[in-house]
Amino acid sequence: MLTIEEYVARRKKEDKIDEFNVEERNENMRLCVNYVFEYFNNYLNITEAEEKTALKDEKLEKYRNNLRIMTLK
């Protein structure tokens, strides 16, 4: 999982933003603010959903193992 700094840096690189271009300052600022919103609204939520899926998979595997043990007895 990326930190917010890594996420913004990656997005800036993907969009080829020249942060030192004074003429594009307002547009660059708008894009970077949008990256922060994307990070918190999309990127983190996806990761949270993936974590929940992993936890459910772990529980499911424990139940399967318990059932195997019970059927062998």
| Per-residue pLDDT reduced to its tens digit, 48-65 | 667 777 678 788 888 888
What's residue 47's pLDDT?
A: 66
Distance CA 14, CA 8 (A): 10
Find, among 4, 30, 3, the residue nearest to 19 by Cα. 30
Predicted TM-score (pTM) of this structure? 0.59
Q: How far apart are the first and last CA of the chain?
A: 43
Domain ranges for the chain, please list them: 4-72
One-letter amino acid identity for 52? Answer: K
